[in-house]
Amino acid sequence: MDKLQVKFPYDIRDVDAETNAELLEYFKGERTGFVQVGPEGYFFPHKYKAQAEHYYNFKARPDDIWISTVPRSGTTWTQEMIWLLANGLDFAQAEQRPLTDRFPFFEFPLFVHDDVKAELLAENCSADMEFIEKICRPGYETLEELPSCQRRFIKTHFPFSLMPPSVLENKCKVIYVVRNPKDVAVSYYHLNRLFRTQGYVGDFERYWRYFQKGLNPWLPYYSHVNEAKEHRKLPNVLFLKYEDMLIDLPGAVKSIGDFLDCIPNAEGLEKLLNHLNIKNFRQNKSVNMHQMAAVGILKQGEAGFVRRGGKDTDAKQHDQQEFVDNPKLLKTANDWIQQNVKYI
């Protein structure tokens, strides 16, 4: 790897001892502790402290395509759409190669604590160890090794301020998707319970308190979204709303196709829309973390990685049953949103 050229510009501080001890009690996947970064206090596990400069100094290539979101904002669904559009609707390859291979998650290894990795290696046979080692390698290493002739598709949940500066300097295409924060929180709660790397064991009301305070990876929510809105007028940035994509999927395909200069014909569009239908998508082993489940990273008995993916037939019903069941919490969430919506 080339010598680091840019000093990481933000302070990285440990979460205060009392809060850290509480979080470790409820998030069993992290074993050391958590940090907060910069003036917004972006939240990460302890590994980020040692690796921040490496991620920040990653050398983006001009033809890279990035997707950035707050977690659980329709990221996986949009990734599949982007990859297929940019690869000539190659459904055969999309079926054969997992999305995690076609569209790597830049900073996922930050969330695999060394102790959890050791447990996974001990639980699995030698045939699966290669996969575990692969997903634990930092993205700045694995992506750098891809040949220059191979276009890279990169998923990140980093806000714009923590992305490698080379992404914008090289005018890489960046697609950002935003989603209603209550839907994000409900889906993120289930993800935190599903993944052993997070290992959340508390209830939703507690989880919402952490979410609202920005005490969960890649949060605070509004800081993240606001940064994206500040960049949305750049010609190499496409800002999308997940709810709009659900209502008008053909329009979303057109927007992304125009942005990437990869517009499908009518027959291709019909096939793509059917492929992205949530009922079909949920059954697609290429996108539903089948490999992760096979090695024990996903906990049995929890909701699947691809859940409902949207709204009920009644447009007034959000993916928010946890709020419906707790009117007091729903009011707290609505008040918080109302207080913050003016800032974005």
Q: Rounded mean pLDDT of 278-286? A: 85
pLDDT at 324: 86
d(CA 299, CA 62): 38
d(CA 160, CA 80): 22
Longest Cα separation, the chain: 58
Residue 175 has pLDDT above 80, yes or no: yes
Give the start-to-end residue ranges of the domains of the chain. 12-341
Q: In the chain, where does DSSP find H-type helix? A: 17-26, 47-56, 75-86, 91-96, 99-102, 114-123, 126-136, 139-142, 165-169, 181-194, 204-212, 221-231, 242-247, 249-260, 266-276, 278-282, 290-294, 321-324, 327-341
What does the buried/exposed string (b/e) look like for 256-293 if buried means 16 or more CB atoms within 10 Å of the residue's CB?
Answer: bbebeebebeeebbeebeebbeeeebeebebbbbebbb
d(CA 102, CA 83): 8
d(CA 36, CA 186): 23
pLDDT at 126: 84
**pLDDT-based confidence at 58, cuts 50/70/90?**
very high
pLDDT at 300: 80
DSSP 308-343: --S--SSTT--S-HHHHT-HHHHHHHHHHHHHHHTT
157, 190, 224, 231: which one is catalytic? 157
pLDDT at 312: 40
pLDDT at 316: 42
DSSP letter for 236, please.
T
- Whose CA is closest to 304, among 213, 145, 194, 227? 194
The values of phi and psi at residue 174, to 5°, are -125, 125
Domain topology for 12-341: Rossmann fold (3.40.50)
**pLDDT-based confidence at 321, cuts 50/70/90?**
confident
pLDDT at 305: 45
Residue 343 has pLDDT above 60, yes or no: no
Is the CB of residue 228 less than 8 Å from the CB of residue 333? Answer: no
**pLDDT-based confidence at 102, cuts 50/70/90?**
very high
d(CA 114, CA 108): 13
Asked, as a colleague might, if the bond just before 220 is cis with ω within 30 of 0, I would say yes
pLDDT at 308: 53
Is the CB of residue 49 less than 8 Å from the CB of residue 12? Answer: yes
- For residues 306 and 66, the model is more confident at 66
What does the buried/exposed string (b/e) look like for 14-32 if buried means 16 or more CB atoms within 10 Å of the residue's CB?
Answer: ebeeebbeebbebbebbee
Residue 194 has pLDDT above 50, yes or no: yes
pLDDT at 315: 35
- Whose CA is closest to 145, among 1, 300, 303? 1
pLDDT digits (tens, 9 = 90+) for 214-236: 999 999 999 999 999 999 999 99
pLDDT at 1: 45
pLDDT at 290: 82
Radius of gyration for the alpha carbons in the chain, expressed in angstroms and rounded: 19
What does the buried/exposed string (b/e) look like for 118-129 if buried means 16 or more CB atoms within 10 Å of the residue's CB?
Answer: eebeeeeeeebe
Mean pLDDT of the chain: 92
Name the least confident of 51-65, 82-96, 277-291.
277-291
190 is catalytic: no
Residue 177 has pLDDT above 70, yes or no: yes
Contacts (Cβ under 8 Å, ≥6 apart) of 112: 135, 136, 197
Q: Rounded mean pLDDT of 305-311? A: 50
